[in-house]
Amino acid sequence: MDAGGATDITAQGRIPSWVCSHDTPSRHLAAKSGLPRHMAVGADNDLTLTLRQACTIDLMHTSHPAPLGHFHDVGGRRLLLHRSGTGGPAVVFLPGAGAVGLDYLNVHERVAAFTTSVLYDRAGTGWSGPAALPRTAAEVATELRLLLHAADVPGPYVLVGHSLGGAYARRFAQLFPDEVAGFVYLDSFHEDWDRYLPHLRSQKVPGTPVLRLVRLLSRGYYRRMFASWPQQVCEPLIERHLDLAWLRAGAQERSDQPRLRDELRAGGSLPDVPLIALTALGTDPAMRLLMSKRALRQMAQDKCRLYEALAASVRHGEHRALDRARHSTIHLDCPDAVTEAVHDLWQRVYGKGGSCSPSASSPPTRA
């Protein structure tokens, strides 16, 4: 799956790399643009990329401050968290690869009307501190737990995982089962992906020439994507999404999905908590460049089978298919349906009482 998340971007839109694992978007983009194949694959060694990424992202933090949220020190890194609303259980959004917390601001504000809602950037992404990518799901999950504790957001949590964010949500539940109240999956990564669809494959990280072309072709896309965001959020968010370091970080996060699959398969059981899985049946525009209509229809059917099996794996699971939603932009294409799913799941958990009752929730706050 893109398993990664917000996904790769081309002239026509963002391609969820997990649904086209038979080819890499960077190679496709190189072919369409006339760039030689070697320019579509980064030639830097891992150490050079890590050092360059760390320096570049650190510079971005000082030059372009985050428009919303507060920073918290976790393990020597500054991590950005934006918190709105009050009550519990808190809803925590886990972005897909290439996405950041503020990408989900539209749904976050709706969720904050009935409970605490949390957006954040993983280390190595967005406005948070640098980290070598890709990381293990255990590293990301443990970091998130420490961040929530540092920000005084009490559990258990409703985890909303989009694409690759679903892998991190599932690993969080394997490691900290008592701190998970439920899941909402937004067309998300699952370790059984290649039991239903084409096998996951590791992907090359595009080189700088391709990333520059992507940046050139993506400005209008992001401007449309965040048109309804507040101006003070929209402009810096667009500019940061077009930064080469951000584009590279998204590609690095999704580059080794087979390893994430294997980590989850070996990670143990998950708690039997309520879940709602949303499947995006729409087609990301660029996917039409890579897949036939027949293949796209088959993929949609196979995704439904996967998420129906996921819903059936717990006592209180539900699968909902969204005809108009695309993988990369499910929360933008169908914000009402996403908000409704979160609210329905939250109500089921809230109705249990106990640690999720109003008396146990955090005091009103907005960060």
The 10s digit of each residue's pLDDT in 89-144 is 999 999 999 999 999 999 999 999 999 999 999 999 999 999 999 999 999 999 99
pLDDT of 305 over the 90 cut: yes
> Amino acid letter at 121?
D
**What number of CA atoms fall less than 13 Å from residue 203's CA on the CB side?**
34
List, in sequence order, every residue forming a beta bridge with 278; answer none if it has no partner: 186, 320
Mean pLDDT of the chain: 82
d(CA 218, CA 326): 17
Residue 51 banded pLDDT, cuts 50, 70, 90? very low
pLDDT of 292 over the 70 cut: yes
Mean pLDDT over residues 77-97, rounded? Answer: 97
Written as six digits, the tokens of 103 are 């990408």
pTM: 0.81
Q: What confidence score (pLDDT) does residue 63 get? A: 53
Mean pLDDT over residues 316-328, rounded? Answer: 96
Q: What pLDDT digit, counting tens, does each position of 346-367 carry?
A: 999 987 643 443 333 333 233 3
Annotate 248-292 with DSSP letters as a single string: HHHHHHTTTHHHHHHHHHTS-------EEEEEE-S--TTHHHHS-
- Written in H, E and C, the secondary structure of 135-147 is CCHHHHHHHHHHH
If 0-12 CB within 10 Å is exposed, 13-18 middle and 19+ buried, where does residue 351 land? exposed
Which one has a higher pLDDT value, 73 or 1? 73
Nearest to 19 by CA among 5, 33, 37, 40: 5
Which one has a higher pLDDT value, 177 or 284? 177
In this structure, what DSSP letter does residue 206 have?
Answer: P
Which one has a higher pLDDT value, 64 or 156? 156
How far are the Cα atoms of 11, 42, 220, 222 from residue 217, in angstroms, in the given order?
A: 5, 20, 7, 10
Q: What confidence score (pLDDT) does residue 50 get? A: 40
d(CA 43, CA 130): 21
pLDDT of 164 over the 50 cut: yes
Q: Which residues have a Cβ under 8 Å from the Cβ of 134 and sit 6 or more positions away?
A: 252, 253, 254, 255, 256, 259, 260
Residue 34 banded pLDDT, cuts 50, 70, 90? very low
pLDDT of 314 over the 90 cut: yes
Q: What confidence score (pLDDT) does residue 272 get? A: 97
The residue ranges of every structural domain in the chain are 8-353
Nearest to 128 by CA among 90, 166, 82: 82
Q: What confidence score (pLDDT) does residue 289 get? A: 80
Q: What confidence score (pLDDT) does residue 52 get? A: 45
pLDDT of 19 over the 50 cut: no
Instruction: Tell which CATH classification among 3.20.20.70, 3.40.50.1820, 3.40.190.10, 1.10.645.10 matches the domain 8-353.
Output: 3.40.50.1820
